[in-house]
Structure 1
Amino acid sequence: MTHPSLRALPRALSLALPRVMALSLLVPAASAPLFAQTSAPAASGTSPLQPVIVVGTREAQPLKDSVADVVLIGADTLRDSGAASVEDALRRYAGLQITRTGGPGQSSGYLLRGTTTSSTVVMIDGVRVGSATLGQAAFESMSLSEIDHIEVLRGPASGLYGADAVGGVIQIFTKKGRGPLNLTAHVAVGDYRSRESDIAISGAQGGFDYAASLAHDSSRGVSAVRPNDAYGNYNPDDDGFRRTVASARLGFTPLEGHRIGISATQSRLNNQYDSSEYLAPDYLPDNTPDFRNHLETRQVAADYRGVINPMWTTSLQLARNTDDSRSGGTVLARYETDRNQFTWQNALQLAPGQQVVLGYERVAEKVMGDVYADAPERTNNGYFAGYTGGFGPASVEASLRSDDNSAYGTHTTGGLGASYALSSTLKLRALAGTSFRAPTFNDLYYPGYGVSTLKPEQGRSVELGLNWVSGSSTASATVYRNKVRNLIGYDSDSTGTSCPDGYFGCANNVSRALIKGVSLLGGHRIGDLSLQATVDFLDARDRLTGDRLPRRAAHQESLSADYTPGVWSVGATLTEVGARPDLVEPLGAYALLDLRASWRFLPQWRLETKLLNATDRDVQPVRDYQGLGRQFWVGLRYDMKGF
């Protein structure tokens, strides 16, 4: 019997091809030279011109050899695409659906392959980041200027990364020093009194490598909430933000093949938002205060990587991630998450093309603040193994992991995948795996809501993909099916039947989900013209009711064209987001057109302009919230090395 996901593929392809062919076809997933203009650092013996990734197997491998569905977003793409934020870059090039409570600087959710925000692992330089209370990383606190490249593994990966890798893994890599001293700087101004500035240095000399950057952004913004919202939170004042991000990396190589490094990143975000508070003595809603969120995030890490012998490479990392938030109007509430992480990983080369990865990872989490005065700590010990093998035209990848958590017990997950080169240009991929999402601290312990006996969500998935590469043309198609049970959600029970006595509703394992979809990516270059696109179709439903899961668009497309005849460059990106259910009625579809141009008037200097939301579309990213209208930017960029 044909699998239901496969039966859906021909129809999805027939719908997608007219959109794709309109731009002469797309951008690649597992072989993306257009995205990989600056790839991950090459492993020893690997050509530096060949895109290399880490996220697929936790060890460096050529992107073209990956069995998993991986997208690499390179440094040049991040710099030249005109993307307004990390979230926008992930939406354009990796197909993530973004839910943001207002304009830039506001809290952002992200849906990878239709899973919830807390079902995707986010890492910076190998350090798991994000709030353990909310179960998500604060992309709104990140700056594109600090990032070297991003790797996105699309699909379950708990077999290597443990809890929360139901939708996939996003690995963000900050800049690392290479070669002679380099200085870069950038300043820009835009509508809504928006400002951007950043400066960075990097290089390597005498066994040392170094990189440091500092960025500051601000904007007046618009009111985050629309008039006549359902909860009466609208306040006509502008809700802007200020953000400062600093990062530094230092490494020392005492012997060839051995490197010791330290890194640190700190971000401070001050953003305004609309809400209401209910204070004594009358406890009536008051939306007039100036509500603000003061968020500080920090990541520090020390690491060692050494080639012990030709067969054995070992890596050690000790890291700490902190999310410290103070938010509110007249009264501020504080939430602080501390996460300490230790990872020991070993790569064993059994034979040419045969590698085993063995590792241990310990994560200890603690939440402090006004609400969580008595919340317990929790620790997780994870043991994982991975295998990668090549057998002529065939490749195999396998993973197995056991996680023992003090709060919700032991879970074992794994994955198995294989690929086969049908020809020199066409490769077939197939993967299957299990995954789970851990309850957040809010789910377990929030007073009047959390339930300490909550079970983790569990998923089972299969996917089938095709990758095609021919000269400067690339394309891929992936069809997937993911069953998730024990979905964690809000249970409105107030009788004490499923929620504790005295609760007016609680967190509970309320449902099951079936998520199916088709992802198409690709690219084509004709002389100075490059064309790129991502097209995603999604059917995410509650298996008990048959209803679509909230805030998931049935389709999303991003189509880009860039023309660079010399010192000039012009480009455009069209992003279309389909209708999606949200609260009592669906939100309509919308399309955004972004334009960009640049002029390199000297080898090291470039003048840049961009026009975001060129058609001034009224965007409602989440029910009752609004994004920015048309926004014009002009900026100046300096690079000591030139472009």
Structure 2
Amino acid sequence: MRNVCWMLVMSGWAIAALCASSAYAQSVSNAPPDTSRADTTAWGTPVELERVVVTATRSQKRLGQVPVPTSVIDAGEIEARGVRRLSDLLAEQPGIQLNYDHGAGVQVQGFDADYTLILIDGEPVIGRTAGTLNLDRITVADVEQVEVVRGPSSSLYGSEALAGVVNVITKEPSAPLEGTVQAQYGTHNTSDASIRVAGTRGDWRGKAFMSRYASDGYNLTSSATPTTPSFTNYVARSTLGYALSTNTDLEVRGRLAREDQSRITQVQGNDTQRFDSIGEQTDWSLAPNLTHTLRPGTTLELSAVASGYRTETRLVGQSDGTRRSGSRFNQQYRKGEAQLQTALGDAHLATVGAGYIRESVDADRVTGRRTGGFVFVQDEWTPTDWLDLVPSARLDAHSDYATRISPKLAALVRPMDGLHVRASVGSGYKAPAFRQLYLNFTNAEVGYSVFGAEEVRAGIDSLEANNEIAAFLQDPSTLGGAMDAERSVAYNVGVRVDLPAALTLDANLYHNEVRDLIDTQPVARKTNGQQIFTYFNRGRVFTQGLEAELTWQPRPALDAAISYTYLNAKDRDVLDQLEDGRIFRRTDAGRDVAVPVSDYAGLRGRSPHRVTVRFTARAESAGFTASVRGRYRSRYGFSDVNGNGIVDTDAEYAPGHAMLDLTLTQTLVDDVALQVGANNLTDYTNAQYTPEFSGRTWFVGMRATL
């Protein structure tokens, strides 16, 4: 509660300051009131652009015409906020929650991070750890806009898009020669510097981008092992395009990223020993794309992508340099795809595509390979001026699970000016991950073992041959074999309405039903007392809730928004057991009592309530921009303390928290701007529940356009 009050007080001061600057902005601006969206090309310089998105339907479409919940964060917003990593940008986005498990992962509509597909320029980013793709890896310094599609998108994008899609779209060359240099320095010796050079000449165009991101890390405890290690991250991206003819264009995109981490690790034993924990990570991709216009309104696009992700960790003794342990992980991804898009008269835009995917993992714990093909089709049909219908479907045939068809139907109704009603129903799916199929891991220190569904029988046979199994908890003959993909059916109903006083309300209700949920379960007990786990299809869960945002933009130089998200995510099997009185907890008096349904917190790591606020003001003639953003997350289930398998007591929750960020930007001349800001002004920290927050941090930055 103290943090909430602190946030409200700080918000009051910040909003008062911003109101003063907005009043000044209005006094110096001659532009008439305009409720359209104001984008910026440089810090504090608004220009009017119509937002166009491509992710929701795989075709260029104005945001107001998209029939599924979609939001856009443009370059102007990114620059005004001063954020440099995708994780920081999405943390402030309505309807999205970040969870920090093996990195910063995005939670959409109550689904874990491995249910949302992350794209850069339309191509998937690989390299997940325990299902999480760490968004700290992705810089937004060279980004034109980020498109977020909420709700199942498997009908167009396949397995990993059950919860939604985040597409990071980088900037294209727009002048004969252009360049940008950015630098930012802050608390914990954190630095982020980048340079971008781009240009066009005749039929050629190209760009090169490089960034360096580093930090000393920090420690929230008295332990010798820091909470967050020091690291250095390098990213290089390039694009080369050539117009082969007036109808044919070839483009090749490349990306290379490297990160090194290091920290001191203290191992307790007969003698306390200190080790250097060293981690290396490499991420690369190469994506050629050929676009050919067959005739007006008909385009054929051929694309391919090859990408790899490799990590290596090792523990080296500080005293003698001996290597205590280490691990390696190598993932390779290949995809080829063809897409044909054609206008059929004035009312239809048809999209048809097909492709082939090959994935492989070679690691200490997981080894496997799978292949598959896919076909998708979509029709964007406008039968009348006030109605859009978008049916779509995709067929996936993979080597590791059954063929899957994912249909979806979306509709957008415009009954009157200023009112848009959208609705969709669709099926999504989540294929078993490599670890769920091929994991073969035994913890050397604790002694438990985890086997994927394809490895469990061989793993158990090996342990049994060595007399390491004390008892079976399940008939071993029933273990292993093929797994089914998780299946979902999702419903979304939303409305966007223009209100008086330059207000706009955008609200969305959603409900997702998931079957064949993949979960872990102990199947045997070892002679050392530890258990053997494997993966099963089981369980039925649902997520449902409300996403609502109210925006206010009386002038291009001033905008504000407040959003509220409600989430209810629970396991139906657990609800059935609670209603039957089959789940108990022990009271302080030592009695076992049935847990009431009302005490069940639902799926862990999901806050039922979330609020975000933002306020941006620009004094155009003075070159000044101020941005304040706040967010509040209510408490959420964290752990099972009493051992009954669910979160049902106060001691099992992580506390809620509030955070406030402030960024001020001053343009010195047309091409140079300075920036200063503070994140987490509430100074919230909690080493147990949220070690990813180091407390209040400050930064200064500079941007120069060449």
Q: Structures share a fold, TM > 0.5?
A: yes
* Contact 2:217–2:226 under 8 Å retained in 1: no
Structure 1 CA distance for aligned equivalents of residues 295 and 65 of structure 2: 24
Q: Which amino acid aligns with 2:436?
A: D
- Higher mean Cα deviation, 175-184 or 599-608? 175-184
Going from structure 1 to structure 2, the CA distance change for 1:274 and 1:317 (only over 3 Å counts) comes to farther
Task: Tell me whether 1:591 sits opposite 2:658 in the alignment.
Answer: yes
Q: Which residue of 2 aligns with 1:381?
A: 373
Larger radius of gyration: 2
Q: Which residue of 2 aligns with 1:451?
A: 453
Q: Which residue of 2 aligns with 1:351?
A: 345
Q: Which residue of 2 aligns with 1:253?
A: 243
Structure 2 CA distance for aligned equivalents of residues 535 and 493 of structure 1: 42
Structure 1 CA distance for aligned equivalents of residues 253 and 56 of structure 2: 23
- Residue 144 of structure 1 aligns to a residue in which SS? coil
CA positional deviation for 1:205? 2.0
Q: Which residue of 1 aligns with 2:77?
A: 77
Query: Of 211, 217, 226, which aligns to 2:213?
Result: 217
Structure 2 CA distance for aligned equivalents of residues 65 and 276 of structure 1: 56
Going from structure 1 to structure 2, the CA distance change for 1:135 and 1:343 (only over 3 Å counts) comes to farther
- Residue 605 of structure 2 aligns to a residue in which SS? coil
Task: Tell me whether 1:536 sits opposite 2:530 in the alignment.
Answer: no
Q: Name the Cα RMSD after superposition.
A: 2.7
* Contact 2:515–2:538 under 8 Å retained in 1: no
Query: Of 590, 613, 635, which aligns to 1:559?
Result: 613
* Contact 1:552–1:580 under 8 Å retained in 2: yes
TM-score, normalised on structure 1?
0.85
CA positional deviation for 1:319? 0.6
- Residue 79 of structure 2 aligns to a residue in which SS? helix
Q: Which residue of 2 aligns with 1:608?
A: 675
* Contact 1:211–1:248 under 8 Å retained in 2: yes
Going from structure 1 to structure 2, the CA distance change for 1:316 and 1:123 (only over 3 Å counts) comes to same
- Residue 140 of structure 1 aligns to a residue in which SS? helix
- Higher mean Cα deviation, 505-514 or 584-593? 505-514
* Contact 1:128–1:321 under 8 Å retained in 2: no
Q: Which residue of 2 aligns with 1:231?
A: none
Structure 2 CA distance for aligned equivalents of residues 606 and 340 of structure 1: 41
Task: Tell me whether 1:66 sits opposite 2:66 in the alignment.
Answer: yes
- Show the 5 A alignment for 1:407-446: 407-446=400-439
- Residue 91 of structure 2 aligns to a residue in which SS? helix
CA positional deviation for 1:195? 1.1
Structure 2 CA distance for aligned equivalents of residues 63 and 305 of structure 1: 24
Query: Of 256, 264, 281, which aligns to 2:254?
Result: 264
Q: Which amino acid aligns with 1:382?
A: F
Task: Tell me whether 1:505 sits opposite 2:533 in the alignment.
Answer: yes
- Residue 437 of structure 2 aligns to a residue in which SS? helix
CA positional deviation for 1:561? 0.6
Task: Tell me whether 1:467 sits opposite 2:478 in the alignment.
Answer: no
Residues 431-479 of structure 1 show CA distances to partners (whole Å, capped at 9, x for unaligned) of: 0000100111111000132113222111001111001236953321000
Structure 2 CA distance for aligned equivalents of residues 520 and 514 of structure 1: 20
Task: Tell me whether 1:309 sits opposite 2:295 in the alignment.
Answer: yes
Q: Which amino acid aligns with 2:376?
A: F
- Residue 80 of structure 1 aligns to a residue in which SS? helix
Structure 1 CA distance for aligned equivalents of residues 381 and 407 of structure 2: 17
Residues 213-250 of structure 1 show CA distances to partners (whole Å, capped at 9, x for unaligned) of: 11111111213x7569xxxxx72476222111110011
- Residue 563 of structure 2 aligns to a residue in which SS? strand
Going from structure 1 to structure 2, the CA distance change for 1:403 and 1:79 (only over 3 Å counts) comes to same
- Residue 130 of structure 1 aligns to a residue in which SS? coil
Task: Tell me whether 1:570 sits opposite 2:626 in the alignment.
Answer: yes
Q: Which amino acid aligns with 2:633?
A: V
- Residue 289 of structure 1 aligns to a residue in which SS? strand
- Residue 241 of structure 2 aligns to a residue in which SS? strand
Residues 56-100 of structure 1 show CA distances to partners (whole Å, capped at 9, x for unaligned) of: 111111111110111111111112112352112112125321122
- Residue 295 of structure 1 aligns to a residue in which SS? strand
Q: Which amino acid aligns with 2:424?
A: L
Structure 2 CA distance for aligned equivalents of residues 208 and 313 of structure 1: 21
- Residue 213 of structure 1 aligns to a residue in which SS? strand
Task: Tell me whether 1:326 sits opposite 2:356 in the alignment.
Answer: no
Structure 1 CA distance for aligned equivalents of residues 246 and 332 of structure 2: 35
Going from structure 1 to structure 2, the CA distance change for 1:124 and 1:404 (only over 3 Å counts) comes to same
CA positional deviation for 1:292? 3.6
Structure 1 CA distance for aligned equivalents of residues 265 and 144 of structure 2: 36
Q: Which residue of 2 aligns with 1:300?
A: 286
Structure 1 CA distance for aligned equivalents of residues 692 and 615 of structure 2: 27
Q: Which residue of 1 aligns with 2:475?
A: none
Q: How many residues align?
A: 583
Structure 2 CA distance for aligned equivalents of residues 66 and 131 of structure 1: 30
**What stretches of structure 1 of length at least 5 have no aligned partner?**
1-18, 24-31, 39-46, 229-233, 497-501
Q: Which has the higher helix share?
A: 2
CA positional deviation for 1:207? 1.3
Going from structure 1 to structure 2, the CA distance change for 1:237 and 1:433 (only over 3 Å counts) comes to closer
CA positional deviation for 1:294? 1.6
- Higher mean Cα deviation, 267-276 or 540-549? 267-276
- Higher mean Cα deviation, 76-85 or 514-523? 76-85
Q: Sequence identity of aligned pairs in percent?
A: 21
* Contact 1:35–1:72 under 8 Å retained in 2: no
Q: Which residue of 2 aligns with 1:491?
A: 521
Q: Which residue of 2 aligns with 1:6?
A: none
CA positional deviation for 1:368? 1.4
CA positional deviation for 1:371? 2.9
Q: Which amino acid aligns with 1:165?
A: A
CA positional deviation for 1:532? 2.5
* Contact 2:503–2:553 under 8 Å retained in 1: yes
CA positional deviation for 1:307? 1.1
- Residue 691 of structure 2 aligns to a residue in which SS? coil
Query: Of 554, 567, 582, which aligns to 2:638?
Result: 582
TM-score, normalised on structure 2?
0.78
- Residue 159 of structure 1 aligns to a residue in which SS? helix
Task: Tell me whether 1:516 sits opposite 2:536 in the alignment.
Answer: no
* Contact 1:538–1:554 under 8 Å retained in 2: yes
Q: Which residue of 2 aligns with 1:339?
A: 333
Structure 2 CA distance for aligned equivalents of residues 226 and 272 of structure 1: 18
- Show the 5 A alignment for 1:133-212: 134-212=130-208
CA positional deviation for 1:146? 2.8
Structure 1 CA distance for aligned equivalents of residues 255 and 271 of structure 2: 38
Structure 1 CA distance for aligned equivalents of residues 232 and 615 of structure 2: 32
**What stretches of structure 2 of length at least 5 have no aligned partner?**
1-10, 16-34, 42-46, 317-324, 441-449, 455-481, 576-599, 641-651
Structure 2 CA distance for aligned equivalents of residues 33 and 257 of structure 1: 34
Going from structure 1 to structure 2, the CA distance change for 1:195 and 1:376 (only over 3 Å counts) comes to closer
Going from structure 1 to structure 2, the CA distance change for 1:126 and 1:261 (only over 3 Å counts) comes to same
Q: Which residue of 2 aligns with 1:100?
A: 100
Structure 1 CA distance for aligned equivalents of residues 88 and 639 of structure 2: 24
Q: Which amino acid aligns with 2:144?
A: D
Residues 176-203 of structure 1 show CA distances to partners (whole Å, capped at 9, x for unaligned) of: 1112311100112111111111110122
CA positional deviation for 1:33? 5.4
Query: Of 116, 133, 141, which aligns to 1:120?
Result: 116
- Residue 222 of structure 1 aligns to a residue in which SS? coil
Residues 376-416 of structure 1 show CA distances to partners (whole Å, capped at 9, x for unaligned) of: 31012110001111121011011111100001121111100
Going from structure 1 to structure 2, the CA distance change for 1:435 and 1:273 (only over 3 Å counts) comes to farther
Structure 1 CA distance for aligned equivalents of residues 495 and 228 of structure 2: 47
* Contact 2:437–2:452 under 8 Å retained in 1: yes
Q: Which amino acid aligns with 2:237?
A: S
Structure 1 CA distance for aligned equivalents of residues 545 and 183 of structure 2: 40
CA positional deviation for 1:285? 12
Structure 2 CA distance for aligned equivalents of residues 600 and 267 of structure 1: 31
